[in-house]
Chain A
């Protein structure tokens, strides 16, 4: 008896026969349905998100002349507000770090004893930015210093190669209303290094990061042929700093903020 005959015979005997038939039919159809459901290309996946939550990291420095303390907040277009609290003259908020905010256009509310001022700023996507509020009343403005992508390692700003282990980087900002800076000279102590930064930086302007050896430095701020002021800073290796010169010439001040 052949295979087919055996199968047929088993199918012609009593109640099991009907059950077997049903099972066979259902099995056959079932296999087809399973193959269909599992085998078709899945085109239901949404390839582009319908919204994005881009972020920025920001830090705000109050170097606004005549503002000993300001209550600062950032208001987004959708009305959401991020407060940076009270920032003393020459101080940053948050101190020693950056706050993550939704990327996009913002209104900076700068409230102080002389009134409330508003500035339009942009927090670019995935950028780490330090905002300096500077200048005297009536000429007040905000300088934004974009430091790097937030996802980049601190040693690799804007896709540049990593700086060597014994080095660091420093940028400059002139927040003084009347000082003209024609350069900096950095004299290291302990190592035989003197670095000149012969770059003119006008009011409300900055100079991008420059790489120097990590050391204890005395910086000489040059204006014309004079030294406007000096300041010291301990610059550690593989860190980045921003040095700010602020306030009117008569009261010129300086500060070095640690960026990374």
Chain B
């Protein structure tokens, strides 16, 4: 097999040698992806009376070993501070000390602190000043949004994703986050400087769960970041944990939404979802001034992890029979016993089978042995959840609702060695492991029992044959699962990476030079076995082949290959490291060099980044003539070649012009490159062959040897503080994205075993542009506020990797014209208003009482009005909705994505009051999400363009159905209750809801001591 290598310079192929030299040159300079994790404090110390610079004054950061002496200009610079809030002390002989409290240090930015020292003749004791957060980040060369721990605590949500989505340029659609019109897998996530982007999910997201109480800050960069950042073309969400404090501090938090109204009862017109959240944090020194620990533990439990508007059964059928007492008999149309019946009643508010229980442990351990600093950060989560989905049809089969267990662990060890006052060396070593499995709650790991009637009979589940489960109830055409119906296949995964980085930073006069390199090697394993009744039957029918390992393996490959999708595990589920089912080992490496020049009226960020990407995907030796082994159903070695590796150089340029203390312009240009999410490339060998054979329609094919996605980004911004309390930030952006993944049909050469096959290829492109406005009002007279607004115009050839499924399977073509992207909200934004009484303010009732209101809005998103060509193979109860994964029957009426869903408005409220009891501050609070219980339309029926009526009951299809003996008029009654009311057909075919979440009220208490 030959190894293919591609080298690009801004998209053009260059000679490989150049990069090799450059790579090693960068390495030799000493290198990183030290990414985030530290900030700086800079300023000047002067005589308060004369204004003269004080040379050699000492400036120290209290509670740390960080500090600096002022230079000939009285200026100082303290580098490499972990993000946080500090007290900074300046001292000089003959002058009184001055301490500035509440100095916020943000990753990657420089906080300015200036001191005016009074002589000891003027002042007799230390002067303490409380710093205010800057309204304008003068040193930022791109639009960077900082969410502090105080911000997180004050918002009426505990979801970090929801908080991130409040930022300009960021939107959420159906629970997925998009930044500036890019796809979800183009957003990067870091935690403590370690890359935690989920590279195995096209819906993107972070690999790690964090407790909001454990966060020091969250930084959202919606593009335009410097050369040290990579593997993310759209934006970066960076999180940092809190650091242990000098004194012991503890906190306890308890939160619930259950006011005795779970399940199905209303409290203040609101349902409980069985939610509770308990958090404990501890912070303090293990060895004073040397070793500090911060740790948080959380248990988050909910009976419904994604609440929907859900209504109980209606009172009566149209013929007057009461739902609560009427026996509904199985029509037997699905093979069931006609004597069986059920009473179709269900409670409102809560869809059963959606429990989630999660434990999270986050922490940091900081050793400060100046000049060596060691910081160990850990994040661990274990979670169990039910996989029932919002599915009413399991009403009588709760016992078999599948479970999914997941755990993930991130360990990040960061070593910093201070080489002098202005230089330091950083090294990160990080390890991530995420694993999980989905399984049947009764038989767990015993997969052969899932569809074995004998095993099922032990639990009282009655099968029709040895491997065929109970027949589905047919209640006027609605399929309810009988007790014992198997709902689960079995799957598991174990993904890990080992990463490392090193960076060298030095300050040469006005130049902050930084060079770094990183390396990340993944091991990806996945196992899936489905069609379990067929598996059991086939194995039992072939007892001799099943009697030993080799022949059973052959039997699986020969007859049961469609049931398996595994790599990193053999067909039996054991880990393997090589051979046919070898794990995937993608490698991401980078090197960069940056020069940050900071002079009075100009900050210049110049950078050059080298990315090496090896996706370790399947690569067909001849894509026009694929070859498969039709007996073993594998791709023989001769049919494969080694996947390509890619090398890119990406220039980054950032400029900031602090025109005055209150006015800053910034400008950014950069090229970005990343691999597509690798779930598109990773399939088990059998699955890949099955898709190549193409006997069925496969909506999720394989990307053979995909290329990286490339983005060129431009950004210009302006920030103006127009009073002591208010500032506005306006940023305009433009992006050009190439090589996004799309579903395609590959025509093969004559003589190939198939005339065409489907695959994912780099085909889509997009251009996005927009304007972001952020208005901040610092707290004044009890009020603070922030308004964010984004105008977005994102167009591309397709919105999602599978958008072309329908057109490819109908006419083998994929749209290549620019269309509005589905997740483009032309107008979106948020308004946050906070009113708060301080200490000794407002009297005993109002003192330390606060409330805030958060308003989200957007102008809706594009969708395509379309009709479906009849019911086709779909069951009548689905109402002929167009399945998201199979759009072959869709016939657009008008241009794709030319219609828009309605505007959405959502209001959240939070009220809290702090009371001192027994010397401890107790903060009692409640927050209400969706205060007015607005039924926000987030999606619509494609046929009708509204969210309340899909039009089916008025269609000729429905007319025939209602006239038949099986369905009767009660089909219409159930259609209204189950589908139009509770959108069961929507969940089943679209995979998402038409409405936003209903109102939720949560009550909590937080105590700090």
A residues adjacent to B (C-beta < 8 A): 2-4, 7-8, 11, 21, 24-25, 28, 32, 35-36, 39-41, 43-54, 76-78, 102-105, 123-126, 149, 151, 159
Contact indicator A52/B543 (Cβ below 8 Å): yes
Please, how many angstroms separate the alpha-carbon atoms of A54 and B436 in the complex?
Answer: 31
Q: Judging by beta carbons under 8 Å apart, are A39 and B574 in contact?
A: no
Task: Say yes or no: B287 contacts A21, CB within 8 Å.
Answer: yes
* Shortest Cβ gap from B534 to chain A (Å): 13
A48 and B540 contact, CB distance less than 8 A:
no
Query: Is A4 within 8 A of B541, CB to CB?
Result: no
B residues in contact with A159, CB < 8 Å: 465
The answer to whether A48 touches B571, judged by C-beta atoms less than 8 angstroms apart, is yes
Q: B101-109, B489-497, B820-828, B994-1002: which one contacts chain A?
A: B489-497
B573 at the interface (CB under 8 A from A): yes
Question: Who on chain A is nearest to B570 by CB?
Answer: A50
On chain A, the residues within 8 Å of B493 by CB distance are 43
What residue of chain B has the Cβ atom nearest to residue A8's Cβ? Answer: B288
One digit per residue, 1 when the CB lies within 8 angstroms of any chain A CB and 0 when it does not, for chain B 417-450 equals: 0000000000000000101110000000111100
Q: How many residues of B contact A (CB 8 A)?
A: 54
Q: Which of B126-134, B228-236, B403-411 contacts A (4 or more CB under 8 A)?
A: B403-411
Chain A contact surface mostly: loop
Residues of A within 8 A of B552 (CB): 50-52
A-B pairs with lowest CB-CB distance, top 5: A103-B543, A104-B544, A54-B543, A47-B447, A4-B248
* A4-B284 contact in complex given A25-B291, A76-B544, C-beta closer than 8 Å: yes
Chain A residues with Cβ below 8 Å from B291 are 21, 25
Say yes or no: A50 contacts B436, CB within 8 Å.
no
Contact B539 A4 (CB under 8 A): no
Docked pose: A125 CA to B539 CA in angstroms? 10
Q: Report if B572 contacts A (CB, 8 A).
A: yes
Asked, given contacts A4-B285, A104-B544, whether A50 binds B437 with beta carbons under 8 Å apart, the answer is: no
Residues of A within 8 A of B447 (CB): 47-48
Residues of B within 8 A of A78 (CB): 544, 547
Neighbouring A residues of B527 by C-beta, 8 Å:
47
Give Cα A123–Cα B445 distance, bound, in whole angstroms.
29
Given A35-B361, A41-B405, A43-B494, answer yes or no on A125-B541 (Cβ-Cβ < 8 Å): yes
When the two chains form their complex, are residues A46 and B407 in contact, meaning their CB atoms are under 8 A apart?
no
Query: Hey, which chain B residues are within 8 Å of A77, CB to CB?
Result: 544
Q: Write the B551-568 contact mask toward A (1 if CB under 8 angstroms, else 0).
A: 011000000000000000
Q: Bound complex: CA of A258 vs CA of B247, how far in Å?
A: 86
Binding site for A on B (CB under 8 A): 247-248, 284-288, 291, 293, 359, 361, 363, 365, 378, 380, 382, 405-407, 409, 433, 435-437, 445-448, 454, 465-466, 490, 492-494, 527, 529, 535, 539-541, 543-544, 546-549, 552-553, 571-575
Known pairs A11-B287, A25-B291, A53-B547; A4 contacts B435 (CB<8 A):
no
Q: Report chain B residues within 8 Å CB of A7.
A: 248
Q: Report chain B residues within 8 Å CB of A50.
A: 549, 552-553, 572
Q: Which residues from B are CB-within-8-Å of A3?
A: 248
CB-CB under 8 A from B572, the residues of chain A are: 46-50
B573 and A51 form a contact (CB under 8 A): no
Cα distance A169–B466 in the bound complex, in angstroms: 23
Q: List 29 A-B contacts (CB under 8 A).
A: A2-B247, A3-B248, A4-B285, A8-B285, A21-B291, A28-B286, A32-B363, A39-B359, A40-B382, A40-B407, A41-B405, A41-B406, A41-B437, A43-B493, A46-B574, A47-B445, A47-B490, A47-B573, A48-B529, A50-B549, A50-B553, A50-B572, A51-B549, A52-B539, A54-B540, A102-B547, A104-B544, A105-B544, A123-B543
- Taking the nearest CB of chain A, how far is it from the CB of B587, in angstroms? 23
Given A32-B380, A125-B541, 8 more pairs with CB closer than 8 A:
A4-B285, A11-B288, A28-B365, A40-B382, A44-B575, A78-B544, A102-B544, A125-B540
In angstroms, Cα B382 to Cα A35, docked, is 10
B535: nearest chain-A partner, CB-CB: A48
Chain A residue contacts of B285, Cβ below 8 A: 4, 8
> Do residues A40 and B435 form an inter-chain contact, with CB atoms below 8 A?
yes
**Chain B: which residue is nearest A17 at the CB level?**
B287
B547/A49 in contact, CB under 8 A: no
Question: How far is it, in angstroms, between the C-alpha of A4 and the C-alpha of B245 when the chains are bound?
Answer: 11
Measured CB to CB, the closest approach of chain A to B532, in angstroms, equals 10
Q: Which residues of chain A have C-beta atoms less than 8 A from B361's C-beta?
A: 35
